[in-house]
């Protein structure tokens, strides 16, 4: 795992945007795992501004609320359409979001896993992190080997996501269809982006704490190619900052990305 700390949210977002742009240019048919949420809005805005073609890319989103259809303005399919897909030349037939409106969720989950396999697996998985440590909607106690399935959301997550539902946590669906922690760990590369003070405590637990299913993001410590990109605020609980900064300032792989 590598931790890269940038001075503010815009710099953290721009770094992730550069990493993804570079990947899409060097591998135009790459398979991207995508996330939603407030943190990603700035990132998608930046990506959509790049002179970049998504024409040959395939995408798989992490999750979708159970019970929402693709055309529901609160669905993650709608979010993706609004923040990224409609602003790029991506071929919508190559975009995938779990089907939270399926009558058979088990089947929809297994179809999703198969579609990822059929695409050759995920090249780069983008992640945010919830305040209870979830990646995707893998709430505390999600098995580290879990696969795509429907999952009950924690009250913390429903409160955190209430903004999209008129500020009322009760209106946030109580379940979601989400890639499992194991599905996420199968990606060949993982990039987690977190910004803001509200993420400081959970970033410290996920990165420097023990690997535990109580903090799903801590499972990323097992991944051989995972980058965690944070701003100063989200990094404020980390103990090993001197070393993380030294790596960014000195390792040749980061030379193109240093200001
Ligand atoms: C969304 C997702 C979630 C979010 C996380 C952070 O697809 O998978 O794990 O990334 O809840 O959300 P924000 O960025 O709104 O704090």
Q: Tens digits of per-residue pLDDT, 22-75?
A: 999 999 999 999 999 999 999 999 999 999 999 999 999 999 999 999 999 999
Pairing of strands 31-34, 175-178: unpaired
Domains and CATH numbers, the chain: 2-213 (3.40.50.1360)
Torsion of CA 229, 115, 211, 198, to 10 degrees: 40
Instruction: Decide: 38 in ligand 1 pocket, CB within 6 A.
Output: yes
Distance CA(196)–CA(230), nearest Å, equals 8
**Per-chain mean pLDDT for the chain:** 97
**Single pTM value for the model:** 0.98
pLDDT of residue 28: 98
Ligand 1 mean position, distance from CA 3 (Å): 19
Q: What is the per-residue pLDDT across 43-53, written as a single tens digit (0 to 9) for each? A: 999 999 999 99
Residue 196 has pLDDT above 90, yes or no: yes
Ligand 1 mean position, distance from CA 61 (Å): 11
pLDDT of residue 95: 98
Q: Which residue, 152, 125, 155, is CA-closest to 65?
A: 152
pLDDT of residue 259: 87
pLDDT > 90: percent of the chain? 99
Instruction: Decide: 36 in ligand 1 pocket, CB within 6 A.
Output: yes
From 63, 130, 132, 217, give the residue whose CB has the most ligand 1 atoms within 8 Å, as the site to mutate. Answer: 130
Q: Which atom of ligand 1 is nearest the CA belonging to 37?
A: 15
Distance set, CA 86 to CA 5, 44, 108, 182 (Å): 31, 11, 25, 30
pLDDT of residue 7: 98
Distance set, CA 107 to CA 110, 122, 150, 167, 174 (Å): 5, 21, 11, 32, 20
pLDDT > 70: percent of the chain? 100
Does residue 18 contact residue 54 with C-beta atoms inside 8 Å? Answer: no
């Amino acid at each position: 795992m590598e931790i890269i700390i940038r001075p503010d949210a815009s710099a953290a977002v721009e770094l992730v945007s550069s990493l993804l742009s570079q990947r899409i240019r060097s591998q135009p048919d790459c398979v991207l795992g995508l996330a939603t949420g407030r943190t990603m809005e700035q990132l998608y805005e930046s990506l959509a501004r790049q002179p970049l073609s998504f024409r040959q890319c395939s995408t798989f989103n992490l999750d979708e609320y159970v019970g929402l259809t693709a055309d529901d303005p609160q669905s993650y399919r709608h979010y993706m359409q609004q923040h990224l897909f409609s602003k790029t030349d991506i071929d919508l037939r190559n975009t995938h979001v779990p089907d939270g409106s399926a009558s058979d969720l088990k089947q929809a989950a297994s179809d999703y896993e198969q579609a990822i396999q059929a695409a050759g697996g995920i090249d780069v998985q983008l992640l945010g992190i919830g305040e209870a440590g979830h990646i995707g909607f893998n709430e505390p106690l999600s098995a580290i080997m879990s696969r795509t399935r429907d999952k009950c959301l924690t009250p913390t997550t429903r409160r955190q996501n209430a903004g999209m539902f008129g500020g009322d946590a009760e209106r946030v669906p109580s379940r979601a269809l989400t890639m499992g922690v194991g599905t996420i760990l199968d990606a060949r590369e993982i990039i987690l982006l977190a910004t803001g003070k509200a993420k400081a405590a959970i970033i410290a637990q996920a990165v420097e704490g023990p690997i535990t299913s109580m903090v799903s993001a801590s499972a990323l410590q097992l991944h051989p190619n995972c980058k965690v990109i944070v701003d100063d605020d989200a990094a404020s609980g980390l103990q090993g900052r001197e070393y993380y900064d030294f790596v960014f300032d000195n390792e040749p792989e980061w030379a193109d990305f240093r200001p």
